[in-house]
Amino acid sequence: MQKILVAHDGSKSSDKALKKAVELSLSTNSSLTVLAVVPELYLTELPEADRNRIFESLSEETRQAMEKIRKSLSGKSIEVKTLIRQGDPAEKILETAQKMKVDLIVTGSHGRHGAKKFLLGSVSSKVVDYSKCPVLIVK
């Protein structure tokens, strides 16, 4: 069985990537792992207590989003797992893909923080540049 890793950050682009990954998983009988990364906050102008509150809020939002995805995919005839990591999104996607020995990474072309003036978002671009397995960018 092949393994597909899809990066999801709550953006419309990552929703499209998830939809494509589900289609691929169903058609190839592959397992699917949905990965969300809570970015570390480098807001040095904020007090630590405020940074912690923001981080906890982002973490809870991510947990709820992953639970919603898990429930929406529960009726599909594919093996689905969700993961949440903390850190630099591109690094965590690459690290997870390598540890899991995935056969394909699927990601959206722009995340929540992607600038439309670039062809690819910085996360998807870095994943393409450094991945040891094929990467599918969904626009």
Residue 118 clears pLDDT 70, i.e. is over it = no
Q: What SS3 state is found at 81?
A: strand
Residues of the chain with pLDDT > 70: what percent? 91
Which residues, other chains included, contact 98 with Cβ-Cβ below 8 Å and sequence gap of 6+?
132
pLDDT at 122: 86
pLDDT at 43: 64
pLDDT band for position 111 (50/70/90)? Answer: low
pLDDT at 98: 98
What is the pTM assigned to this prediction?
0.89
Nearest to 39 by CA among 57, 14, 17, 22: 57
**Lowest-confidence pick of 15-29, 54-68, 78-92, 106-120:** 106-120
Residue 46 clears pLDDT 90, i.e. is over it = no
Task: Give the mean pLDDT of 53-69.
Answer: 93
Phi, psi (degrees; rounded to nearest 5) at 77: -90, 50
CB 78 within 8 A of CB 30: yes
Report how far residue 108's alpha carbon sits from residue 124's, in angstroms, rounded to the nearest whole number: 7
CB 90 within 8 A of CB 126: yes
Report how far residue 89's alpha carbon sits from residue 122's, in angstroms, rounded to the nearest whole number: 10
Phi, psi (degrees; rounded to nearest 5) at 108: -80, 160
Mean residue pLDDT across the chain: 89
Location of structure tokens 């190839």? 28
Sheet with 3-7, side-by-side order of all strands: 80-86, 31-38, 3-7, 104-108, 135-138
Homologous superfamily, domain 3-138: HUPs (3.40.50.620)
Report how far residue 60's alpha carbon sits from residue 8's, in angstroms, rounded to the nearest whole number: 15
